[in-house]
Amino acid sequence: MKIKRLVTLLIFICCDLTAFSQAEHRDGYIRQEDLLDIVTRYLQKHHKLAADEPVKKNRKVIMSAVPAAGYTLQTGFAGLLNGNAAFHTNDSANTSTVNASFTYTVRNQIIAPIVTNIWTKDNKYNISGDWRYIKFPSFTYGLGGYTNINNGYLIDYAAIRIHETIMKRVTNNMYAGLGYGIDYFWNIKELTAPAGVATDFQKYGLNGTEFASGITFNFLYDSRKNSINPEGGTFVNVIYRPNLAVLGNEKTWRSLVIDGRKFVHFPKYSDNILALWTYEWFTVSGKPPYLMLPNTGNDPYSNTGRGYIQGRYRGANMAYVEGEYRFTMTRNGLIGGVVFANAQSFTELGSNKFETIAPGWGGGLRIKLNKNSRTNIAIDYGFGLGGSQGLFVNLGEVF
């Protein structure tokens, strides 16, 4: 019976995608729809509500969740549960968000991040956090851009990341503040390293544990109103992190991250968005632990380098750019699509220069899960050099 109901629901949704893509009010306004609207209509059609059941009003906190399954080079087949919550501390505040997910893969990997971005009343303060636990057998390929995808081998480790930042508004849309970050890796092992050959990990310094602790100095400019799915605006985040020996590090080293994003309507009066992203990650001085070096897909949302496995490239410095065009496919906003292209480069161990560029490209589907928070289910397929490719699933936009 449950299978029959599920099949019926899927058929109902498919029919709704066609019927309501053309839904239009008498005054010409196109009614906006999301996946929750379709499921609600199905339930109302097949299970009549009690006459005295109250109509729910819009909640202050808008929550979205979706289970999913996918496959990437990094994880193999994986089951995941993604969820986010969006809310406003008052009418003039930007949208605050809490994003959480839990992923378990056939390779016995566990990935459990909680990423928060909170705006206080009238946007006076911005409080952001990145807490995560990782149990992560994964591939590493060595240092720099000349590494070969066929020479990757498995390493294993567990890790905890705790990053918190608080910033105060300096002027309109501009913030500055302090934070603290701690990263701890343990049970680090090379599982399938080539015999008789010194790996880049061994040359760089292979230890059973790695630890990083640092105060962060932060600058933020953010004119977006909704970080889940921006309709416009500019975002620039600069994080300078000195990891001093006095804070528990083996040796002092310093890093700098510059995250810049721009969102514009294109064409100007359409709902389509041209999104641009640059992510620069530099080692200013010293020698970070190997697993703390800049690498593909290790940004806070693990989204850089679509088309490549996480950790595919690694080096002391990283330069990254991406462009994505987001467009609607149905008039009611339920279904959309994207095309994207990116490029990444890492400095070489000997020269410390950027000598190679690794492009990535692909496209994807967007399904509106919640129209109030503008949350999409994002399903992308990306390609890279050397036959690299994979499926990437997100709740909310990639950036």
- Give the integer Cα–Cα distance in Å for 165 and 177: 7
In a shared domain, residues 168 and 308 = yes
In a shared domain, residues 24 and 167 = no
Q: Are 155 and 136 in contact (CB under 8 A)?
A: no
Q: What is the predicted pLDDT for the residue at 49?
A: 43
In a shared domain, residues 219 and 311 = yes
Range 3-23 burial, b when 16+ CB lie within 10 A, else e = eeeeeeeeebbeebbeebbeb
- Nearest by Cα to 343 from 373, 372, 376, 313: 313
Strands 317-328 and 273-285, by their bridges, are: antiparallel
Q: What is the predicted pLDDT for the residue at 137?
A: 87
The CATH number of whichever domain residue 352 belongs to comes to 2.40.160.50
SS (H, E, C) 148-168: CHHHCEEEEEEEEEEEEEEEE
In a shared domain, residues 228 and 324 = yes
Q: What is the predicted pLDDT for the residue at 65?
A: 75
Structure-token pair, residue 248: 């528990």
Structure-token pair, residue 4: 């029959």
Q: What are phi and psi of 11, to 5 degrees?
A: -65, -40
In a shared domain, residues 326 and 268 = yes
Q: Would you say residue 155 lies in a domain?
A: yes
Q: Would you say residue 117 lies in a domain?
A: yes
Query: Side-chain half-sphere of 276: how many Cα atoms within 13 Å?
Result: 9
In a shared domain, residues 70 and 127 = yes
Q: Are 176 and 167 in contact (CB under 8 A)?
A: yes
Q: What is the predicted pLDDT for the residue at 383?
A: 95
In a shared domain, residues 148 and 21 = no
177-205 pLDDT, tens digit per residue, is 999 999 999 999 999 999 989 999 999 99
Q: Which residues of the chain have pLDDT under 70?
A: 1-29, 42-59, 70-76
Q: Where are the beta strands (DSSP E) in 172-252?
A: 174-190, 210-222, 233-243
Q: What is the predicted pLDDT for the residue at 57?
A: 39
Q: What is the predicted pLDDT for the residue at 12?
A: 41
- Give the integer Cα–Cα distance in Å for 309 and 107: 14
What string of DSSP letters covers 31-44? Answer: PP--HHHHHHHHHH
Query: Side-chain half-sphere of 164: how many Cα atoms within 13 Å?
Result: 1
Query: Side-chain half-sphere of 288: how many Cα atoms within 13 Å?
Result: 28
CA 361, 229, 63, 115: dihedral to nearest 10 degrees? 70
In a shared domain, residues 44 and 77 = no
- Give the integer Cα–Cα distance in Å for 187 and 156: 7
In a shared domain, residues 213 and 324 = yes
Q: Would you say residue 55 lies in a domain?
A: no
- Give the integer Cα–Cα distance in Å for 298 and 238: 16
pTM, two decimal places: 0.83
- On the 0-12 / 13-18 / 19+ scale of CB atoms within 10 A, 208 is exposed
Q: Are 382 and 394 in contact (CB under 8 A)?
A: no
Structure-token pair, residue 275: 């999104």
Q: Would you say residue 56 lies in a domain?
A: no
Q: What is the predicted pLDDT for the residue at 390?
A: 85
Q: What is the predicted pLDDT for the residue at 25?
A: 44
Q: What is the predicted pLDDT for the residue at 24?
A: 46
Q: Would you say residue 29 lies in a domain?
A: yes
Q: Would you say residue 36 lies in a domain?
A: yes
The DSSP output letter for 53 is P
**How many domains are contained in the chain?**
2
Collapsing DSSP to helix, strand or coil, 9 comes out as helix
Q: Would you say residue 54 lies in a domain?
A: no
In a shared domain, residues 107 and 213 = yes
Range of the domain at 372: 63-395
- On the 0-12 / 13-18 / 19+ scale of CB atoms within 10 A, 293 is buried
In a shared domain, residues 247 and 210 = yes
Q: Are 155 and 295 in contact (CB under 8 A)?
A: no
Q: What is the predicted pLDDT for the residue at 73?
A: 61
Q: Are 187 and 157 in contact (CB under 8 A)?
A: yes
- Give the integer Cα–Cα distance in Å for 164 and 131: 8
Q: Would you say residue 58 lies in a domain?
A: no
In a shared domain, residues 72 and 35 = no
Respond yes or no on whether the N-terminal peptide bond of residue 267 is cis (omega within 30° of 0): yes
